[in-house]
């Protein structure tokens, strides 16, 4: 924390400035005479800032994903495997665990990442830790299929190498969403922000070198 603001907030600040630079530079180019010696550099800078603005949207989305990962990390009491730049949260939500023997249900929570599926139980706590991890299943070994059971609708079976879980969603749509996201899971690479920040730095340097506010 710095000045009551989180690290993620401070990381977002330079990226969020990009659209503002674009608007100001657009206005500056409009007001420049056609024969101005600064026009060529200004138009070139506008092209660069336009590309940077497009990249900034992706960068902001990526930082927001990382913030969500940190939130999950805290909710799970510091599950170290979560804090990994290549890890991404694909879906999470409450679920019911169905007992095959008694057909009774218990509240559970799933966190699906591009590398693993965490099967968790709610934890009664006043702090930031909200769940206890019961099982960790690598996604490359997980199989998911619908269970046709009239007595317990919206059920699906999650099968791993060492354990199978019969789970019940709150609706048919929710069950289908879990099955679909598990079936289409792909590893997602973290976008590199270096190119974005390099372009923004170039434009800001060029802009402040001219006499815009003279």
Task: Give which of 121, 119, 92, 93 is closest to 106, Cα–Cα.
Answer: 121
Residue 77 and residue 127: Cα distance in Å, rounded?
10
DSSP states of 118-151: EEEEE---SSS--EEEEEEEEGGG-EEEEE--SS
Q: Residue 149: its pLDDT value, please?
A: 82
Residue 94 and residue 92: Cα distance in Å, rounded?
7
Residue 103 and residue 7: Cα distance in Å, rounded?
46
**Range name among 104-113, 152-161, 189-198 with the lowest pLDDT average:** 189-198
Q: Residue 23: its pLDDT value, please?
A: 83
Tokens found for residue 134: 């019961």
Q: What is the pLDDT of residues 171-208, one digit of tens each?
A: 999 999 999 998 765 433 333 334 444 444 444 444 44
Q: List the chain domain ranges.
A: 10-76, 84-183
Question: Cβ neighbours of residue 54 under 8 Å, at least 6 residues apart?
Answer: none
Q: What is the rounded average pLDDT of the residues 46-69? A: 81
| pTM flag (> 0.75) | no
**Range name among 71-85, 97-111, 125-139, 174-188 with the lowest pLDDT average:** 174-188
DSSP states of 19-87: HHHHHHHHHHHHHS-TT-TTHHHHHHHHHHHHHHHHHHHHHHHHHHHHHHHHHHHHHTT--GGG--TT-
Domain 84-183 classified CATH 2.30.29.30?
A: yes
Whole-Å CA distances, 5 to 60, 70, 75: 17, 15, 20
Split at pLDDT 50, 70, 90, the class of 214 is: very low
Residue 41: pLDDT over 80: yes
Tokens found for residue 57: 């949207």
């Amino acid at each position: 924390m710095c000045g009551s603001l989180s690290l993620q907030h401070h990381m977002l600040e330079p990226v969020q400035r990009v659209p503002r630079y674009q608007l100001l530079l657009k206005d500056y180019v409009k007001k420049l005479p056609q024969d101005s010696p600064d026009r060529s550099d200004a138009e070139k800078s506008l092209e660069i800032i336009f590309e940077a603005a497009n990249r900034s949207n992706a960068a902001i989305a990526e930082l927001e994903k990382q913030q969500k990962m940190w939130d999950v990390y805290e909710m799970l009491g510091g599950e170290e495997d979560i804090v990994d730049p290549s890890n991404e949260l694909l879906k999470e939500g409450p679920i019911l665990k169905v007992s095959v023997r008694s057909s009774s249900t218990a509240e559970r929570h799933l966190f699906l990442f591009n590398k693993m599926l965490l099967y968790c139980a709610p934890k009664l706590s006043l702090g930031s830790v909200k769940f206890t991890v019961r099982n960790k299943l690598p996604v490359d070994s997980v199989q998911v299929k619908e269970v046709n059971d009239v007595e317990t609708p919206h059920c699906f079976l999650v099968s791993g190498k060492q354990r199978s879980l019969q789970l019940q969603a709150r609706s048919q749509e929710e069950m289908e969403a879990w099955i679909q996201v598990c079936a289409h899971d792909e590893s997602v690479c973290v976008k590199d922000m270096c190119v974005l920040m390099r372009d923004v730095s170039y434009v800001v340097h060029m802009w402040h070198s001219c006499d815009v506010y003279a």
